[in-house]
Amino acid sequence: MKQIVKLKVNGVEEEKAVHTHHTLLDVLRAEFKLFGAREGCGIGMCGACTVLLDGKPASSCLLLAALAEGKEILTIEGLAEPGKLHPASGERGRAADHAVAGVS
């Protein structure tokens, strides 16, 4: 079953038809094409899915997308000025994406 929700992501408000069981992480990735937040552990402990919800950190893998309606959602992509990388997503972030435990 789908529900129309109005989400304000990185300062832009959009209406999306989302499945009622989809998490905010699912919707950010599938509907908004924002891939900075990722599913790591799936239980909100690792921080890979963290977004700011009304200025406070939230695990987007645990929050149903419909419950984020009316909230200000800020992702890693929304931290930078257009056309520039924010320091949090710079070279060190890209290097960490390819790191494998125990391999230098």
100 pLDDT band, cuts 50/70/90, is very low
34-84 pLDDT, tens digit each: 999 999 999 999 999 999 999 999 999 999 999 999 999 999 999 877 666
Is the model's pLDDT at 102 over the cut of 90?
A: no
pTM for the full predicted model: 0.78
Q: Sign of torsion, CA 79 71 31 22? A: positive
Q: For all residues of the chain together, what is the average pLDDT?
A: 86
Q: What domains lie within the chain, and their CATH numbers?
A: 2-97 (3.10.20.30)
Higher-pLDDT residue of 1 and 99 is 1
Q: Are 29 and 61 in contact (CB under 8 A)?
A: no
3-state secondary structure of 30: helix
Q: How many CB atoms lie within 10 A of CB 68?
A: 25
Q: Which helix (H) or strand (E) holds 15?
A: strand 12-19
CA distance 78 to 6: 18
Structure confidence at residue 80 (pLDDT): 75
Q: Which two tokens stand for residue 27?
A: 């919707």
Residues 6+ apart with CB under 8 A from 53: 63, 68, 71, 72, 73, 74
Structure confidence at residue 104 (pLDDT): 44
Q: How many CB atoms lie within 10 A of CB 5?
A: 22
Structure confidence at residue 15 (pLDDT): 97
